[in-house]
Amino acid sequence: MRLLFLGDMVGKTGRTAVWDRLPGLISDLRLDFVVVNGENAAGGFGITEDIFLETINAGADVVTTGNHVWDQKEAVAFAGRHDQFLRPANYPQGTPGRGSGLFYARNGARVLVANVMGRVFMHPELDDPFKSAEVILDACPLKEQADAIIFDFHAEATSEKQCFGHFVDGRASFVVGTHTHVPTADAQILNGGTAYMSDAGMCGDYDSSLGMDKEEPLNRFISKMPKGRMEAASGPATICGVGVEISDVTGLAEKIAPLRLGPRLAETVPEFWR
Catalytic residues: 68
Q: Check whether 107 is labelled as a binding-site residue.
A: no
Contacting residues for 27 by C-beta, under 8 A, at least 6 apart: none
DSSP one-letter string for 76-90: HHHGGG-TTBB--TT
Residues 203/7, Cβ–Cβ less than 8 Å: yes
Residues 211/42, Cβ–Cβ less than 8 Å: no
Work out the angle at residue 185's Cα, subtended by the Cα atoms of residues 1 and 66, and round it to the nearest 5 degrees.
70
Phi, psi of 261 (to 5 degrees): -135, 125
Q: Check whether 67 is labelled as a binding-site residue.
A: yes
Strands 33-37 and 2-6: parallel
Q: Check whether 37 is labelled as a binding-site residue.
A: no
Distance of alpha carbon 194 from its chain centroid, rounded? 16
Find the length of the chain: 274
Phi, psi of 154 (to 5 degrees): -90, 105
For the four alpha carbons of 56, 100, 5 and 47, in that order, the dihedral sign comes to positive
**How much of the chain is helix, strand and coil, in % rounded to 5?**
25, 30, 45
Q: Check whether 154 is labelled as a binding-site residue.
A: yes
Residue 44: half-sphere exposure toward Cβ, Cα within 13 Å: 16
Q: Check whether 127 is labelled as a binding-site residue.
A: no
Binding residues for Fe cation: 8, 39-40, 67, 154, 179, 181
Binding residues: 8, 39-40, 67, 154, 179, 181
